[in-house]
Amino acid sequence: MRFRVLGCSGGIGGGRQTTSFLVDDDILIDAGSGVTRLELDEMARIDHLFISHAHLDHILALPPLLDSVGVERETPLQVHAIPEVIAILKAHLFNWQIWPDFTHVPTPERPFMRYVPIEVGEAVRLGGREITAIPANHGRPAVGYRLRGERASLIFSGDTASHDALYEIANATDDLAQFIVEASFADELRHIADVSGHYCPATLLPDLMRLKAGVPVWITHLKPGGESAIMAELAAPGLPCGIPLALAQGQVFEL
């Protein structure tokens, strides 16, 4: 399994792109502005999208992606999400007002996309790859994902604040090779992090002490302008994982 970072910023500007990861050449994890880095033929090869939650920075490229390559595809794009997120997409995005309902375009029988409801803890297996929704604590319907390839697993926290399940699942994943967790704000903005359901270093560092040793930690979703302060505050000695590193666009993990 090849996991490629298309976008991992908490905002845009200066080349920053919001959350999207390409798995091999046919699976997306979230559809933030990072998708716009792909060529048309690359977008047309995507058969599955797993959405963590319905905030705009994680779904904003989905409508234009379908508009750009829908007619080139033989089969609908399979949009996997928990039922609560699907309900939000139906009501507030693909509603014929913000964007056409592409589950009925060009026809209900041969649409550009189909919703595939998933449940937390349910493993979806796609050609030897396993993707499982895991809990997140974001104050609204949201999940993270555990991805398992032939050689190793990766955990992506999704947008989240502190919660026990993330570390229980990580520590129980014997082949965990990479741990991607968000930290959106520096500690001086903890009041914003708390109210919006995000980590800051003051809340993330105690949780990382609970993570088993030997697993590299990558920080995602840093808000523009705050990256240096966030990473400096996370450079704490004595973490079992070592010093966390900032995730970067273009980074690739082989699993």
* Dist CA 25 CA 18 (whole Å): 19
Summarised one tens digit per residue, pLDDT across range 103-138 is 999 999 999 999 999 999 999 999 999 999 999 999
Judge: domain 2-254, CATH 3.60.15.10. Answer: yes
Find tokens 């792909």 and name the residue.
38
- Supply angle C-alpha 41, 44, 47, rounded to 5: 140
**Domain layout of the chain by residue ranges:** 2-254
CB 3 within 8 A of CB 19: no
Which tens digit of pLDDT belongs to each residue from 32-79?
Answer: 999 999 999 999 999 999 999 999 999 999 999 999 999 999 999 999
